[in-house]
Chains A and B, each alone.
Chain A
Amino acid sequence: MQGTWGRRVATASVALSLGLTGAACSSRSSPTGDAGGQTASTQFVIARTGDIDLLDPHRATAFQTVQTLGLIYGNLVKADSSGKLHADLATEWSYADAGRTVTFTLRQGVRFHNGDPFTSADVKASITRLQDEKTSAVARSNLSGITGVDTPDDHTLVLHLKAADSALLYALSAVNAAVLDAKDIAADTVGKKPNGTGPFSFGSWQQNRDLTLKASQGYWGGAPKLATVIFRIIPDEPSILAGMRAHSFQMATISDPTVAQQVSGDAVTLVKQPALSYHALMLNGRRAPLDKPAVRQAIACAVDRQQVITTVANGDGKVTGPITSPAFDYSATQGLPCTAGDTAKAGQLLAGAGFGPDHPVKLRAIVETGEYATSVAEGQNLQAQLKAIGIQLTLEQEATDSYVKRWLAADYDAAVALNGGSYSPYTMYGRYFTTGGSLGIPAGLDSPDLSALLNRANQETDDAAQHQLYQQVQEKLLELSPWVWLFRGDDYYLLSPTVHGFVPMPNQSLQYLAETSVG
């Protein structure tokens, strides 16, 4: 009886499993992966691990949010993949009064997705909202130089500045400085239903599931070829790769080099794009013994950057100096008192500062766990490399909240960090290394010379002269070695071979989806 009963149970279980598996396979979703949805030619499914967190571009900081809202909203200007600025909602702009007045000519015939015409009043209302502290916009500090906004007519906008500010245009090109509909601002509906001037309009959002965008037929640059773009949340990167292999998605973004290394075969094309963000070992120059420039320089000299890339990122990355914008492509090490990885010179510098085998340098480094895949491995590699010159680096692994708390309070000797980059060198470093900069405390260095140099470069309106000044900034940073700049990691894009026209951007923008097609 027991055997019969057991067999019945087993048979029923197997039948259930096989039946359901069969049902699953027979109900295999369309190539676009949407059950019961539209056809493959109209849907473009992008898999990524994280969802957007809000719908208000002015408060956007998470890169998924910035990526997505960047497709819905427009800006006065936008940067291309080389960091060069181009017209967007402003067709041209000119400087007067030694750079203290900027006049924009705005594009005509543009409409928001709800049909409202775009005018200079929308730009003025957007800038006013950004400057309002109640908005809590992170971009507010980048626009603090604006003292007034005039709108002589519907298609002309005049910004009055405290001083010439070359970083301002870059700030205005960011998604978190997008142009909103003045009516939405007045009605306090921003963040409830996105309404922009970008190539795609907002469709729907199911939190932690998917978000749908529709091609904006009235887009001033011409309607995108992709009728519908769906961002699907697949939290696990190996699962994303499996989904790409199963032709379930047309595109995916991943960040883990070990997953990227597994890409093979014809079903998936891997595209690598060096990011603007950079990996660095931040040194707290306000603490002994790092307050001695020679100790910081010794550390900067000792670290073989290429070894870090090879070890922790499977070779995917590019050795970088402080400035990561492709428009300012300087030597990554010129300014250092040595070549990178020169342990002999590093030892000499340490000895000159009074350190050696009998009196070793001991440092505590905070390492953020969980936020990006390579953090701990980077710390371990740096620990091993610095050991070669007698520096004892103790790694203190912290979850993001603890890490941020200690980082903001500069409660560390060293910090293994992945910092965001920008096309504008001033936007990247003004907040760290200018006097009174908002992140001056965690930056760990107060140098009046460097501060003056950064401000001069930002206020310079001549491109060639500015280029030279930023080169001096880079060399000064490497000379002072407040941090050890390591490498720019690669962002990974997985594409179906049928996708054409997509160009990855160093700032992770997906703006080229407007020109992408499938076929």
Chain B
Amino acid sequence: MIRLVVVALLVAVAVLGGYAVLNSGPESGTPAARADLLLPIAAGDLSGFRRAVEPYDWRFPDDHGPHPEFQTEWWYYTGNLATSTGRHFGYQFTVFRRAATTEPLASDSEWRTNQLYMAHFTITDVEDGRFYQAQRFSRGAAGLAGATVDPRYRVWLEDWEVTALDDQARRTAITAASSEAQIRLELEQLKPPALQGDRGLSPKSDAAGNASYYYSLSRLATQGTLTIHGETFTVSGASWMDHEFSTSALSAGAQGWDWFGLQLDDQRELMVGQIRLADSGIEPAFGGLLIEPDGSTRPLASSDFSIEPTGTWTSPHTGATYPAGWTITVDTGAESQLMLVVTPLVPDQELIEGAIVYWEGAVRITGDATGYGYAELTGYESAMRQRF
């Protein structure tokens, strides 16, 4: 009897053991796997792309549109808006284009393209100290994303779009919505395009071709609505638009950049920026631009201004430490230097969802002049080369 029980137990152990071994792994669920993409990065070959070498012959409104002969292009809208009661918001709406190859491939497929698009949309709610961000990707095919000036200027990624309301694209509308926030804005261009660098050729290092074509619409009167979690605010304020296209603009030693688009209450605007090099130096080729109330511009060499951080902020999301607050001193050609104190409206305006982590946020200006603006800080989480 005892022996039989022992045998039975042994068999039971064998069955259960076999069951456990053969049946390891979860019982149900969706199969999960991760693609391990091993193809070489397609951006390796830039030879076919046009590079920014000569000053550019600008024609608007056509040059608001895409320049597919260049590898990379972006349309960057930022703005500071407020309700009639003074509740302040910042927004960013950016569409990036990147070409994988110079020529589109011949194909019957409407999905086949060499153009890829990415868009970022953020809202900064200053009162609540909240930052809402969303990103999208799409290919420039099948009507899903693209940029055009035919018949009018329009850049879109699905239902996020900026579209001209008149043939000259002096008035444009921006629509974007995420699961949390939404904007519907109308923008009116108050000043002519301000050409950065040398007639729009903005060098990023002293090597020829390491440059971009770059202009700004530095003051766009903006009004419309902004919705956060279902609550809609009627807002107005000013926006800034940057349009830049290039092929491999950054030099190998570049670590990242700090960029400021500042709109002063005296109707001047100031773009200053610095490209930080890996050896802790600053790229001397990259400068800035002062735009007078009448739209005339004054190019600034890197030696004409200084950007001194006054504090730091360490991201709880990525661990990256960014400067937070600056003293910017600019030699505007006037008798005394213009000294501006720039302070982020909300510390955490870090975009973390994308492949590129950067800080892009609304700032307040005090000091010799007052106003609002946007700052962009890249390369603090990792180096920016070979990215968008």
A in complex with B: no
> Which positions in A face B, CB cutoff 8 Å?
none
